[in-house]
Structures are given as structure tokens and as C-alpha cells.
């Protein structure tokens, strides 16, 4: 009997005619990423890029719940609490994977069906052809666990129209397919019951034009989402460079969207909110994805030395009481110098060959 490694079980890699198929295979965990999975994905991309017989790569997730719920932060939480020096290994290998996907030399088609959050965004939204469905629920929910949008989130979010990326990054709210397309995280809406047929067609395409024609044959109009419908409110209230000003702008409005947004923000980690906004504003001025990934890695390293990440994961995934006790607990207690410690020189941490 042939024994398979953990990575081979968690990531299924196969050739289907001229397509390379990568299937995440942890359905009970909504395909949350582990370090062996990150390594398997990286190796699969290398294999398929080197294979002249492969015309495109398709990423999909096993199970009905979603493509990927993100990185397995419970593991990072446990390693960090134990003081294990390997705690940074996951991000140290995940972020270069995100960059490799962004620079992949062949069409990279991501089936963003169901839940696509955090690290799941990192392995899909950096791709060249991103497909969402009526079941898609996309989010960068990190401020709710005392963290911040990483995996290149500080590169992607500022590119959304107006302040939509700021709203997404600070609230961490999940949005639908229409919103994902509007924000620039996806390209096409394809009904979920057409994905298998699309997969079959993609397995017979031989060039970029064929990939795009195959997708276009199944794509339909995804309609309007929350972001487009509330764009004026979002731009008016999230245009500021301090979280306090955003709170103040929301509090002066008397519409349901503003009230609900403010209520969500008031539950998030004050430190995470201030750090996230800073990273998004820096990302808006950044010249490259590498620059943002390096900065995020430095900030994540500091996060592991602080309280809120561990408290957020405890409340959401360990004790599951949904009652995090942030420290500091109030926005006005988070000082500028507190945020500056997350923004140390980050050049060359992950990509020494690309010194900033």
C-alpha cells in the first residue's frame, strides 16, 4: 500500500489534459492552509510552470463550504504562545507563494466558490483569472482576531474603488460575488453549477485567449452589491487617515449602513484598526507587491509579541466565547508610537534578492 505524505493528502495535484489542477483538500476545515499545503502549492506551481504541456492552472477547493477559509491561525497561535521559533515559518513561506501566484507565467484560474477569506484571498485574488459564484463570501476578517489584512492585502485593498478597500479592511465584513468583482478581487461571475463544465473546457485550452473565451462562455452578470450601493457613504466616511475621524464621520450619519458599520468597528481590536489603516495608506503609495508583503511580515512579527492576536484567536477559535478583551481597549489609548513599532525597516526580510 502506497503511503502519501500530509501535503499529498491536503493538496491534490493532477494534470487534466493541458490543465494543471490544484485542489485544496481539507474540507472539514474549509481548506484552511497549513505549512505543508503552502509548500505543496509552491511546488505544484513550479512543476506546472516548467511543464510545456500545461497551458493553465486551475485552483479549486474540495467540499461544499468554500475554497479556503484562510491560514490555520490556531496553529500560529499555539506556536506563538509556546515561544516556538518556527512560528514565523508559515508566513515566511506563504507570502512568497502569494508573490509567485501574482507573477505566474501562465493563466492561473481561481475558483473562488463559497468562503474565501484571509489566506484564501492570498492564493486566489493575486491570480490572473478569478472566478466567483453565487455562493462566494469573501473577506479579510483579521481585525476581528486582533490582526490585520496580510497576504498582500495592503496591496490589493487600496486598489479598490474609492474607499471600498478601507471599508473592507477595517470592518472585516464578508461580501458577495458582486462586491468581490467591484473591489477588484475577482473578474468573472460563474454560477457554481457550471464550474465543472468550465473545468472541462479549460482542460482543452491551449492559450490565454482560449482560457478567456472559455470563461466568458459561462460568465454572467453578477449584479450590484453592498459596496456599489453604498459607495457615496463609504467614500465620505472612510476618506480620513485616522480611525478616530472615521468613527466620528460615521457617528454623525443617521442611515442604517453607517450605524451598522460603526457597530462592527466598535467590536474590532483598536490596535488592529489603527495598524490596518496605516498599512493601507502606506500600501496606496507603495511601488510593488513585494514592498507590501515585506511590510506585512514585519508587522506580523511584532503582532506575535503583543496581546491582541492571541486574545482574538482565543475568543474566536479556542474558547469561542466571542468576547475578546482587547488591550488597549479604546482607540484613544493606542498611541502613534505604539503603531510605529510594527513599521520597522522591512526591506529584504522575505525577498533579499529584491532589496527595497
b or e along 5-44 (b: 16 or more beta carbons within 10 Å of the residue's beta carbon)?
eebeebbbbeeeebbbbbbbbbeebbbbbbbebbbbbbeb
d(CA 203, CA 54): 9
Instruction: Establish whether 119 is a catalytic residue.
Output: yes
Other CB atoms within 10 Å distance of the CB of residue 194: 15
d(CA 140, CA 70): 9
Cβ distance 118 to 71 under 8 Å?
yes
Catalytic pick among 20, 61, 66, 71: 71
Cβ distance 154 to 296 under 8 Å?
yes
d(CA 116, CA 118): 7
> How much of the chain is in helix, strand and coil states, percent to nearest 5?
50, 10, 35
d(CA 139, CA 236): 22
> Phi/psi of residue 338, each to 5°?
-65, -40
Instruction: Establish whether 169 is a catalytic residue.
Output: no
CA angle in degrees (0–180, nearest 5) for 91-281-240: 135
Other CB atoms within 10 Å distance of the CB of residue 322: 9
Other CB atoms within 10 Å distance of the CB of residue 250: 22
In sequence order, the 6+-apart residues with CB closer than 8 A to the CB of 260 are: none
Instruction: Establish whether 150 is a catalytic residue.
Output: yes
Catalytic pick among 142, 291, 296, 308: 142
Catalytic pick among 150, 163, 296, 311: 150
Catalytic pick among 20, 119, 165, 222: 119
Helix 35-50 and helix 89-102: axis angle, to 10°?
Answer: 30
Instruction: Establish whether 70 is a catalytic residue.
Output: no
Task: Indicate the pairing of strand 56-61 with strand 11-16.
Answer: unpaired
The residues annotated as belonging to the active site are 71, 119, 142, 150
Amino acid at each position: 500500500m502506497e503511503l502519501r505524505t500530509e501535503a499529498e493528502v491536503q493538496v491534490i495535484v493532477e494534470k487534466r489534459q493541458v490543465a494543471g489542477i490544484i485542489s485544496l483538500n481539507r474540507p472539514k476545515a474549509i481548506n484552511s492552509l497549513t505549512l505543508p499545503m503552502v509548500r505543496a502549492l509552491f511546488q505544484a506551481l513550479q512543476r506546472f510552470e516548467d511543464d510545456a504541456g500545461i497551458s493553465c492552472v486551475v485552483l479549486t477547493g474540495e467540499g461544499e463550504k468554500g475554497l479556503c477559509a484562510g491560514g490555520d491561525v490556531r496553529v500560529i497561535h499555539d506556536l506563538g504562545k509556546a515561544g516556538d521559533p518556527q512560528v514565523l515559518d508559515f508566513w515566511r513561506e506563504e507570502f512568497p507563494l502569494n508573490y509567485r501566484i501574482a507573477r505566474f507565467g501562465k493563466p492561473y484560474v481561481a475558483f473562488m466558490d463559497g468562503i474565501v477569506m484571509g489566506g484564501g484571498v492570498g492564493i486566489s485574488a493575486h491570480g490572473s483569472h478569478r472566478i466567483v459564484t453565487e455562493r462566494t463570501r469573501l473577506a479579510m476578517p483579521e481585525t476581528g482576531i486582533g490582526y490585520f489584512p496580510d497576504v498582500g492585502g495592503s496591496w490589493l485593498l487600496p486598489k479598490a474603488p474609492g474607499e471600498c478597500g478601507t471599508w473592507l479592511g477595517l470592518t472585516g465584513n464578508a461580501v458577495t460575488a458582486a462586491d468581490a468583482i467591484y473591489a477588484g478581487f475577482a473578474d468573472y461571475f460563474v454560477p457554481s453549477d457550471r464550474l465543472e463544465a468550465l473545468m472541462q473546457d479549460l482542460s482543452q485550452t491551449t492559450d490565454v485567449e482560449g482560457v478567456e473565451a472559455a470563461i466568458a462562455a459561462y460568465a454572467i452578470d453578477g449584479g450590484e452589491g453592498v459596496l456599489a450601493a453604498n459607495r457615496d457613504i463609504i467614500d465620505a466616511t472612510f476618506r480620513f487617515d485616522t480611525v478616530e475621524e472615521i468613527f466620528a464621520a460615521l457617528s454623525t450619519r443617521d442611515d442604517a449602513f453607517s450605524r451598522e458599520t460603526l457597530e462592527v468597528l466598535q467590536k474590532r481590536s483598536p490596535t488592529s484598526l489603527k495598524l490596518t489603516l496605516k498599512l493601507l495608506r502606506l500600501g496606496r503609495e507603495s511601488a510593488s507587491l513585494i514592498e507590501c508583503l515585506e511590510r506585512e511580515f514585519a508587522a506580523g512579527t511584532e503582532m506575535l509579541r503583543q496581546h491582541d492576536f492571541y486574545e482574538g484567536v482565543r475568543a474566536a477559535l479556542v474558547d469561542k466565547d466571542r468576547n475578546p478583551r482587547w488591550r488597549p481597549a479604546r482607540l484613544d489609548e493606542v498611541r502613534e508610537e505604539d503603531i510605529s513599532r510594527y513599521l520597522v525597516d522591512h526591506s529584504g526580510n522575505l525577498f533579499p534578492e529584491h532589496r527595497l
